[in-house]
A and B are shown apart, each in its own frame.
Chain A
């Protein structure tokens, strides 16, 4: 046995140890990320020039009620003690109650997050299904009218305010053409037919076999998802085009062409395959961003999502709601990142 050659079984042990270290590191980084998020959000919410007691008791409260509430909120204690107490509460599984809804934050999140999840998933699907082929085609036909069109669409996606696009979309497709339903998640006539199981109405309606409700929910979802999806599409198509251009200029593509490999095979089997890993990162980032919730889209489309919930909570210094919502968004980010890591390993053997 030469030096450097491992003993039988040592490789498996090393691999197991490596896996353990990776898992350990991963859990540690997730905990640190979430803790950091909580600390930053807590400090921001405490330094904004808004009286948190005012947010709870309102402008007309008696001095006695004001003082009692201040003490109940623990605002007489140092900031680090307040944070420690909150953290202890979170670790025991209690995110506290929201001032603005009078309900446990966990219940609020369970109600608002599925709406955001439904919208973000539909928007991302749209962005991927349309954006990726658009980006590939633009790269393949570089300099053609199609390429210019994709670039203009991408630029517009970055420049047009989502608020404006949402209202114009409503005016055209809902008010004028009547192709889709208007703001809200369901029409009044379809409410209370399906019991919420997952909170994602499309899924709940399908599970219950209520296809009329499914169609109505879809008709409400398609426009806000398209508006959000457009921004996702702009980003994804632009990045796909850039990745593809890079691949198409590689020598292996020239070699393949010289060897007479068909253009479709070069594009989809060789070049596209090589961009899947960075593309997964782009899609994951875009999806994670949408999972934060889009306040403006949610406002225009009366969509009860997490973005509007966290924003209004922050403006009202509803600390439990802000921190609870932030924690969920943080977890969603981490989850999407983990998913994309897993996908890397599936798509690229070198990453295993």
Chain B
């Protein structure tokens, strides 16, 4: 028995020794390693990718015709386009492509590639295609409306005159990335326009090439040393899927990753005293809101709508539950967007809310439900709202559910109150105005399931005003229309917009240069460097 025990203990010690000897320590000097939740990536084809993590990867691999200054998004700049112009009638756009730029394959970047890329996105008609097709492009007309006149000139004709800023901002979205048509078409299968191949491979001209993507595991980008806008300051970026935030923190503290991208509030506070670690942050476009279904007799009363906006402890929730991850914001355009309003007229005011409820004939309160995704911070914020509602007599029952489950119910207009987030699809104000302030058909059969429709909010006048804003060609006037719309929306809408997201990346102190832009495809790795 003793000899057996000795062998057993010896075996365990040997196993431990073997395990210990594998430790590598710090990450390679020329390689940036990130721990991030990337299991949402479905495809890295820019004509198809529409998930947060996928957009970030695509944004580092592909170039677009236009981009904008991250510090001042109103400043639209050329990326692959050197110059551009709009015809007097506002329906024809011409772009001159920069000369001398090459794709990773060595093929030159031409207007034909740009035309093919846009046509392809419209013809494939995947999730993000609407960003382009909303300008009147269809499978049948896109080849005629988007054409390369020669290798340097691209001409695009829209179905009517839109605000040029609206069109330009849409061209800064991932779906408008320019793909190497010659390389891609070598991999076309059954007329799929190389969709299958481009899901896991790249044909681009950007700062990085896609070396490998293993779904739900990791992706690796390799620097394009010949990048026309300056080679990246690192050789390789490895992004590994680490779903658990606590595990991300341990990896970062140990030095096995350079960045932890999804730390939660408590973990960010927890690492604040560690001199080996730092954080970089940027304001994102996602808005955190609650909305009231106007099919509910009580929730449709204007006084109740207003009372509920006074029954949220915006500051308290920001300080205690969301610090560093969200900031108070109460308008439907996120800070940083053209025409965004920073007015925040609502704060917790129980007495005022009670008065308003009494005016609505609901002085004794009422019972209502809220559908909540069963993850943080939705559950935490919902519970805080439940507490403040109770102070005015509103008995709020929380119905937890999986994200897709609550969304299904929301889209079927079967909720009372919904708590959720909305992120813009592109950098133009129309993306949010269209969903928060437009509802062309409020019937149950309505096909355009905007957020206003989901809450059965019938707004013919506001819908017209929003439609007018998108064709206003004077940028100044257009911005003013949105400011007015937001003021009105803040006052009467069944939306209590509460917070705007802040993205925080924790990283080793010797690593710097990650750019966190306003949307996920503007998170750039190119300048990351290890000191």
Residues of A with Cβ closer than 8 Å to B?
A: 48-51, 54-55, 57-65, 68, 99-103, 108, 111-112, 129-130, 133, 167, 170-171, 174-175, 178-184, 187-192, 215-220, 222-223, 264, 299-302, 304, 308-309, 312, 315-317
Q: Which 8 A-B pairs have the closest CB atoms?
A: A219-B22, A101-B215, A63-B447, A215-B22, A216-B22, A222-B19, A51-B408, A302-B242
Q: Chain A interface: which of B25-33, B349-357, B480-488?
A: B25-33
What is the 8 Å Cβ interface bit string for chain B, positions 1-17, against chain A (1 contact, 0 not)? Answer: 10010001001000110
A100 to B54, CA, bound (A): 12
Those of B190-244 within 8 Å (CB) of chain A: 196, 199-200, 212, 214-217, 220, 238, 240-244
Which A residues are CB-close (under 8 A) to B11?
129
CA of A73 to CA of B256 in the docked complex: distance in angstroms? 43
Contact yes or no, A219 B254, CB < 8 A: no
Chain B residues near A315 (CB, 8 Å)? 402-404
In the complex, are the beta carbons of A65 and B33 less than 8 A apart?
no
Residue B72 at the A interface, CB < 8 A? no
Contact partner, B1, options A61, A183, A264, Cβ 8 Å: A264
Are B238 and A188 closer than 8 Å at their CB atoms? yes
Which listed residue (A61, A170, A222) contacts B127, Cβ 8 A? A61
Q: Which residue of B lies closest to A302 (CB)?
A: B242
| A186 vs chain B, min Cβ distance (A) | 10
Q: How far is the CB of B187 from chain A (nearest CB, A)?
A: 15
Contact in complex: B402, A60 (CB < 8 Å): no
Residues from chain A with a CB closer than 8 A to the CB of B405 are 48-50
Distance A190 CA – B409 CA, assembled complex (angstroms)? 46
Contact, CB under 8 Å: B217 / A304: yes
Sampled A-B contacts (27; CB under 8 Å): A48-B405, A50-B402, A51-B404, A51-B407, A54-B404, A58-B127, A59-B411, A62-B129, A62-B133, A99-B42, A170-B247, A170-B250, A179-B20, A181-B24, A182-B254, A182-B256, A183-B35, A189-B24, A191-B220, A216-B22, A222-B16, A222-B19, A300-B244, A302-B241, A309-B216, A312-B39, A315-B404
Complex Cα–Cα for A112 and B402 (A) = 24
B23 interfacial by beta-carbon distance below 8 Å: yes
Shortest distance in angstroms between A111's beta carbon and chain B's nearest beta carbon? 7
Q: In chain B, residues 434-463, which have Cβ atoms closer than 8 Å to a Cβ of chain A?
A: 447-449
Nearest chain B CB to A173's CB is how many angstroms away? 9
In the assembled complex, the Cα of A316 lies from the Cα of B216 at a distance in Å of 14
A165 to B94, CA, bound (A): 61
* In the complex, chain B residues whose CB is within 8 Å of the CB of A111: 214
Given A57-B127, A188-B31, A191-B220, 9 other A-B residues pairs in contact with their CB atoms under 8 A = A50-B405, A54-B408, A101-B216, A129-B8, A187-B22, A188-B28, A302-B241, A308-B216, A317-B404
Evaluate contact between B250 and A182: CB separation under 8 angstroms: yes
| Cα-based distance from A51 to B66 in the complex (angstroms) | 36
Q: Which residue in A55, A103, A181, A312 is a CB contact (below 8 Å) of B22?
A: A181
Q: Which residues of B contact A218 (CB under 8 A)?
A: 15, 18-19, 22
Q: Which residues of A lie under 8 Å from residue B8 when comparing CB positions?
A: 129-130, 133
B33-89 interface with A by 8 A CB criterion: 33, 35, 39, 42-43, 50
Contacts of A178 in B (CB 8 A): 20, 23, 254
B244 in contact with A179 (CB, 8 Å): no
| B269 touches A (CB below 8 Å) | no
What class of interface size applies to chain B in its complex with A? Answer: 35 or more
Pairwise interchain contact B125-A65, C-beta atoms closer than 8 A: yes
- Report chain B residues within 8 Å CB of A215: 18, 21-22
Contact present for B250 and A108 (CB under 8 Å): no
- Whether A183 touches B247, Cβ cut-off 8 Å, given contacts A60-B425, A133-B8, A309-B216, is yes
Q: Are B127 and A65 in contact (CB under 8 A)?
A: yes
Q: What 0/1 pattern do residues 253 to 264 of B give for CB contact below 8 A with A?
A: 110100000000
The secondary-structure label for the interface of chain B is: mixed
Chain A minimum-CB-distance residue to B44: A102
The verdict on B271 contacting chain A, using a C-beta distance below 8 Å, is no
**B130 at interface, CB cutoff 8 A:** yes
Q: Are A188 and B27 in contact (CB under 8 A)?
A: yes
Nearest B-chain residue to A49, judged by Cβ: B405
Report Cα–Cα, A192/B18, bound state, in Å.
Answer: 21
Contacts of B19 in A (CB 8 A): 179-181, 218-219, 222-223
Q: Which residues of A contact B220 (CB under 8 A)?
A: 191
- Distance (whole angstroms) from the CB of B285 to the closest CB of chain A: 14
Q: Is B251 an interface residue (CB 8 A)?
A: yes
Are B242 and A60 in touch, CB under 8 angstroms? no
Q: How far is the CB of B153 from chain A (nearest CB, A)?
A: 30
Cα distance A308–B243 in the bound complex, in angstroms? 10
Interface residue from B23, B128, B254, B448 paired with A175 (Cβ < 8 Å): B254
Q: Known contacts being A100-B42, A218-B18, A219-B23, is A49 close to B408, with CB within 8 Å?
A: yes
CB of B246 closer than 8 Å to a CB of A: yes
CB atoms of B404 and A175 under 8 A apart: no
Contact of B243 with A219 in the complex, beta carbons under 8 Å: no
Closest to A300 in B: B244
Select from chain A the residue with minimum beta-carbon distance to B15. A222
B50 adjacent to A101 (CB under 8 Å)? no
Question: Min CB distance, A42 to chain B, in Å?
Answer: 18
A185 CA to B212 CA, complexed, in Å: 16
List the A residue with the shortest CB-CB distance to B414. A49
Contact of A304 among B24, B241, B253, B256 (CB under 8 A): B241
Query: Which residues of the other chain, B, contact A179 by a CB distance below 8 angstroms?
Result: 16, 19-20
Contacting residue for B253 out of A61, A99, A175, CB 8 A: A175
Contacts of A112 in B (CB 8 A): 216
Bound: A68/B127 CA distance, A? 12
A34 to chain B, nearest CB (A): 25
A182-B256, A187-B24 given; A50·B127 CB < 8 A = no
Known: A59-B407, A65-B127. A183 touches B50 (CB 8 A): no
Question: B127 and A175: CB pair below 8 A?
Answer: no
Residue numbers in B under 8 Å from A133 (CB-CB)? 4, 8
Check if A58 sits within 8 Å of B50, measured CB to CB.
yes
Q: For the complex, what is the distance from the CA of A277 to the CA of B272, rounded to whole Å?
A: 56
Chain B residues near A170 (CB-CB < 8 A): 246-247, 250
What is the 8 Å Cβ interface bit string for chain B, positions 506-527, against chain A (1 contact, 0 not)? 0000000000000000000000
- Tell me if A60 and B408 are in contact (CB < 8 A): no
A216 contacts B24, CB within 8 Å? yes
A130 to B7, CA, bound (A): 12
CB distance from B34 to the nearest CB of A (A): 10
Complex CA gap A118/B54 in Å reads 29
Measured CB to CB, the closest approach of chain B to A54, in angstroms, equals: 6
Indicate if the CB atoms of B411 and A51 lie closer than 8 Å.
Answer: yes
Say yes or no: A102-B199 contact (C-beta < 8 A), given A182-B254, A302-B244. Answer: yes
In the complex, A99 Cα to B411 Cα: how many Å?
A: 21
Interface centre among A61, A63, A180 (most CB of B within 10 A): A61
Distance, CA A187 to CA B24, complexed state (A): 7
Q: Identify which of A50, A51, A103, A180 contacts B215 (C-beta below 8 A).
A: A103
A195 to B197, CA, bound (A): 21
Contact B247–A301 (Cβ < 8 Å): yes
Evaluate contact between B251 and A60: CB separation under 8 angstroms: no
- Interface readout for B389-413 with A: 1 if CB under 8 Å, 0 if not? 0000000000001111101110100
**Chain A contacts for B253, CB-based, 8 A:** 175
What's the Cα separation between A219 and B18 when bound, in Å? Answer: 7
Q: In the complex, A191 Cα to B28 Cα: how many Å? A: 12
A65 / chain B contacts, CB cutoff of 8 Å: 125-127, 129-130
B430 to chain A: closest CB distance in Å?
14
